[in-house]
Chains A and B, each alone.
Chain A
Amino acid sequence: MANPASDNLFTCKHLRSKEMYYQADQRDGDQYSGGAYWCAKNHESFGPDGGVVERSECTPDRTCFQE
């Protein structure tokens, strides 16, 4: 399924998904991840700022974002 989220290249260094641990091109895996991202700062599916953790959401405009 097409996913605009995977177009976002400027993701936060704390963003994690399981695909990152086994796929060469991490963005390929998004179709399977079912949205199961987590933030490495708190190991939750929401960030330190309370917002959701997602490739499309974890962008530089978040207060918690780190390059």
Chain B
Amino acid sequence: MSNAPTLQVTDLKTHFFTRAGVAKAVDGVTLSVDRGEVLGLVGESGSGKTVTGFSILGLVDHPGRIVSGSIRLNGEELVGKPEAELRRIRGRKVAMIFQDPMMTLNPVLRVDTQMIEAIRAHEDVSEDAARQRSREALVRVGIPSPDERLQSYPHQFSGGMRQRVAIAIALLNEPDLIVADEPTTALDVTIQAQILYEVQKLCAETGLAMIWITHDLAVVGGLADRLAVMYAGRVVEEGPVDRVLDAPLHPYTHGLIGSVPSHNRRGARLSQIPGMTPSLLHLPEGCSFAARCPRADDACRVMPQLERFAPSRAARCHHPFIAENDGQEIDLTFNE
């Protein structure tokens, strides 16, 4: 594996300057994704997953703004780039897939229009060539009779088919990274499984890196290589997906996974943790999970840093679950 990761986000802060105050939606996110790797990004609603995704694409809208931090794509810094340059990167180097396939395609434009424009926004190719590539992309995501489908409007597709079209559009310019924001949540299980299978194959075959945002631990367990867990705008735990699910370090991850025995755990949704996500407008001093944390004590009034616990694992906690999971299990086993 080459040394520079496809994406390296360091201490990213994206804040929303609302009338009510500053909402620190993303407040110090650090994560990285390698070539061909799928990073699962989980966390409760409002923890800042989508805002992280939009920050990577430079699509944070007013009143939001990236206030500090670094986003490096293949070593190239994206934060602070002028809009015109970001536009050339969006859709070409980084693509995004949204949660609701019913809403992502423009209802009044034909599918071919929406695909061809995505190619021609970045490359000076003929319409015929662009159409040919669009057709191939549809075939790649498993859409039957692509020629006919190109001529259709979005409303003539089912939800699953529309999401495939969205994925096909994301693939059109062979980006280095795709940010997929809960792309299969709205679909039924069989279709979800098909899409996941195809996406996994794609990453393995093409070296595409992927951030897969989801609430669904079953999906993450089956699809992702590594897992990052977000809480109140920060990554609180990060590591290889099996390790994190089997032996979480952070009390929040622990709570998310629940107390079910490990083999039954797969297929479970994130379990509910007592208490509420703190308001982003009034985050407490110190660890933001303290109010809900069974292990909280005085030390937690100081904000913990993201600490490495093994070459591949990190957590942001003063009292991680290390003792309970014997050190060996956490350690060493994972060497890329």
**Do A and B come together as binding partners?**
no
Chain B interface residues toward A at CB < 8 A: none
